[in-house]
Structure 1
Amino acid sequence: MTEGTKGKVALVTGSTTGIGRGIAHGLAKAGCSVVLTGLGTDKEIAELLTEFQSQYKGSFHFVPGDFIVTEKTEKFANDVLAIYPEGIDILVNNAGLLGEAPIEDLTTKMWLDTVAVNLTAPFILTRAFFPLMKKKHWGRIINIASQMGLIADPHNIVYCSTKAGLLGFSRVAAIEGAKFGITCNAVCPGYTDAPMSLSIVKREAAEKGITYEEAKAEFMNQRSPMGRFIPLQEVVDLVVYLSSNSASCISGSPIPIDAANMAR
């Protein structure tokens, strides 16, 4: 499953917590060196680097970045290239904002910030590393989209729009990279056992004045035919597989991992 990943360099955005952190661990375990980035205090980032350096044999760097500001995203890409002048091999665009609000309450700033992080940053990073992947005739671009790129949910107009945008983005990148050994796919998780989904349950528990466990049971009953969150490790394993040589002909695809939610 991990054939071809040993010795590769991966960049995982939003890798200080949740799905991104899990993916970074999965790729490190598969033999990759990993560039980490995301939110965290200096202490948390230092502990994160120690965590990776103590468990795996690759090289690990943390590069700070602010993906809300286009110029800072471009600087981030240049900072990564300063460490790896020949570019990276695996790009996982995972960082994201939820931007949740009814249409009439969604501010222009919230819209623009969410678009910047969820859609513009993946474009800027892909543009920076794509030519070097073409030169090496090998590359993997994995966009962490969402089931919400394929369906819709009230109060999520900007989130659904940006995640749907990643699907089109992935198809075009797949076509342009096809002759150069580059694949691009969009992983579409449903409600995963990770901070974003768990925060929704916590909020609903507070709003309804019920316990977290009661809110979780209600949430699962309404949104998951399997009645449970998707294990984080299953998303990780899918991304690691897509990063390998075994997935060389899987490209341009939106790949749901949604516990049958969209089958209803």
Structure 2
Amino acid sequence: MACHLKGLAGKVALVTGSTSGIGLSIVNHLADLRCNVILNGFGETKHIEDVQTNLKRQNIKVNFFEDDLSTVQGNLTLCDNIYRIYPTGVDILVNNAGFQHVSPVETFPTAKWEQMIGLMLTSPFLLVQKFLPEMKRKEWGRIINISSVHGLVASPYKAAYVSAKHGVHGLTKVVALETAETGITCNAICPGFVDTPIYQKQVESRSQTDGCSYDEASRRILELNHPTLQPIGTHQVAKFVEFLCYEAASQITGSCLTMDGGWTAR
């Protein structure tokens, strides 16, 4: 493990949407590996302060920016803020920020569509565009897009989310080809149901509606899509991110990698 720590220690990692859920787990894990971390997202002030305090116990640099990445200006402001602190930019870029809205296509709000595409497709493009030149200069970089199984298959009533995730897979492949000889890799991770607070609330609601235990409610939700009948742990996504940062993964680029409990095997 010591050589692993040495390999990533001191690297600068930006993880968007990192104040909760998958993003927070990734930030915590990269901090354990002695990366300097940059958080972005929204949440209660006390919670975010506590997160930063806990991360700083690793004796690393920790910064937080609340810029709204669903807007072009929010992305540009975030990049400016980061370059002021780190003139050579970031080494690890994890595009994780996202949210869901469910609605039939014919009633899907245009404003919601634009917000979701902005956050989950335009933002990754802009952040890659801004940080790629310095990664190329350093001849090393890891761009990891936290996508979804919905980047590979569709579900009804999720037009914007599915479109954004399919789009980010195209972006992933283009960036990988353009950086193939530079020491930079670009990949997408495609989880199925992940055991986040959002998922837990969904299970609790199903438990109350069906009058069954939490575990039974979880099984009923998963049985339609996860042959394993288990959700993915946020720590498992974080460990996948870690692996993609190592030399062992240097020839994995342009890939959309599933961790979906068997969802897309059917």
TM superposition score normalised by structure 1: 0.94
2:142 alignment partner in structure 1: 140
Check 1:199–1:176 CA distance in 2 against 1; reply closer, same or farther (3 A cut): farther
Q: State how far apart, in whole Å, the 1-side matches of 2:104 and 2:205 are.
A: 16
After TM superposition, the structure 1 stretch with the greater mean CA deviation from structure 2, 98-107 or 27-36, is: 98-107
Gaps of 5+ in 2: none
2:231 alignment partner in structure 1: 229
Offset, 1:205: 5.3
Contact kept in structure 1, 2:25 and 2:234, CA below 8 Å: yes
2:37 alignment partner in structure 1: 34
How does 1:126-165 map onto structure 2 within 5 Å? 126-165=128-167
Q: State how far apart, in whole Å, the 2-side matches of 1:176 and 1:112 are.
A: 27
Identity of aligned residues (%): 39
Offset, 1:43: 1.5
Matching residue within 46, 65, 73 for 1:43: 46
1:122 alignment partner in structure 2: 124
Check 1:80–1:170 CA distance in 2 against 1; reply closer, same or farther (3 A cut): same
2:28 alignment partner in structure 1: 25
Offset, 1:57: 2.5
1:198 alignment partner in structure 2: 200
After TM superposition, the structure 1 stretch with the greater mean CA deviation from structure 2, 73-82 or 250-259, is: 73-82
Contact kept in structure 2, 1:5 and 1:245, CA below 8 Å: no
Offset, 1:217: 2.5
Contact kept in structure 1, 2:149 and 2:190, CA below 8 Å: yes
Q: State how far apart, in whole Å, the 1-side matches of 2:46 and 2:231 are.
A: 30
How does 1:1-264 map onto structure 2 within 5 Å? 2=4, 4-54=7-57, 56-202=58-204, 204=206, 208=209, 210=211, 213=214, 214-264=216-266
Contact kept in structure 1, 2:36 and 2:62, CA below 8 Å: yes
List per-residue Cα deviations over 1:108-139 (Å, max 9, x = no partner): 01100000111111111111100010111100
Offset, 1:65: 1.1
Offset, 1:216: 2.1
Check 1:106–1:210 CA distance in 2 against 1; reply closer, same or farther (3 A cut): farther
TM superposition score normalised by structure 2: 0.93
Q: State how far apart, in whole Å, the 2-side matches of 1:252 and 1:239 are.
A: 14
CA RMSD of aligned residues (A): 1.7
Check 1:80–1:176 CA distance in 2 against 1; reply closer, same or farther (3 A cut): same
Offset, 1:146: 0.4
Contact kept in structure 2, 1:201 and 1:212, CA below 8 Å: no
Check 1:104–1:215 CA distance in 2 against 1; reply closer, same or farther (3 A cut): farther
Q: Which amino acid aligns with 2:190?
A: C
Offset, 1:258: 0.5
Q: State how far apart, in whole Å, the 2-side matches of 1:28 and 1:4 are.
A: 13
List per-residue Cα deviations over 1:133-166 (Å, max 9, x = no partner): 0111100000000001001111111111111111
Check 1:53–1:249 CA distance in 2 against 1; reply closer, same or farther (3 A cut): same
Q: Which amino acid aligns with 1:27?
A: L
Q: Which amino acid aligns with 1:247?
A: A
Check 1:93–1:244 CA distance in 2 against 1; reply closer, same or farther (3 A cut): same
List per-residue Cα deviations over 1:74-126 (Å, max 9, x = no partner): 11111111111111100000000212211122100110000011111111111
